[in-house]
Amino acid sequence: MLPGKTACGATQVHRMVAEIPRPEASNRMRRHYMTCAFLVTVALALAACRKQDPVGELEKAAAAMGNAAETPPPTDAAADSTATAGPPPAQQVKQAMDDYKAGKMEDAVTRLQLLRNMPALSPEQRMALQDSLAAVMTELYSLAEKGDARAVAAIASYEKMQTGRR
């Protein structure tokens, strides 16, 4: 055997070159991972940036409240509290929607907050009400940032009701 040659006849230099990892493959994988991470980030950002329509959410809540099949039978304590509360929940949500459309934001938020505290709501009704209240509050916060005095008053009323419950 000649010096510098392997048993199969390859030179030492060729064997060493074959053992060196190729940077092109690792760069390709890194680019692939970065592209996937970017696409996932974009997808999450687009999913999170969906703007909620307060009126549409209020209509969904009114439909959920109007669905009598989902309403559980009230207990004695719940029956007493709903008897003194006034109109049925579906009508209260519709009144809140009318107040919101008319620009009476403080009345709408107050009505939704009182309705949210009713014990005789089914889980589906409660979720629909929470979604509508969240949409209304998001809209109110964006209006308050722009300087709308009615929105600021509605937010103050909401926060006062939130802290007053405790």
Q: What is the pLDDT along the chain (166 residues), one digit of tens a residue?
A: 455 566 666 555 555 555 655 666 677 788 888 888 888 887 777 666 656 667 777 777 777 777 643 445 455 444 444 445 577 888 888 888 888 888 888 998 888 888 888 887 888 888 888 888 888 888 889 889 999 899 899 889 888 888 876 5
Domain shared by 151 and 97, yes or no? yes
The domain in which residue 34 lies consists of: 12-48
pTM of structure: 0.55
Which of helix, strand or coil describes residue 11? strand
Domain shared by 70 and 146, yes or no? yes
pLDDT of residue 12: 55
| Cβ-contact 71, 143 below 8 angstroms | no
Q: Among candidates 55, 162, 76, 64, which has minimal Cα distance to 121?
A: 64
Domain shared by 17 and 59, yes or no? no
pLDDT of residue 146: 92
Tell the residue number behind the tokens 């999170």, with chain if given: 48
Domain shared by 32 and 71, yes or no? no
The two three-digit tokens of residue 84, written as one number = 């003194």
Q: How far is the C-alpha of 107 from the C-alpha of 100, rounded, in Å?
A: 8
The per-type count for the chain, helices as H runs and strands as E runs, is 8, 0
| Cβ-contact 98, 61 below 8 angstroms | no
Domain shared by 43 and 121, yes or no? no
Domain shared by 89 and 133, yes or no? yes
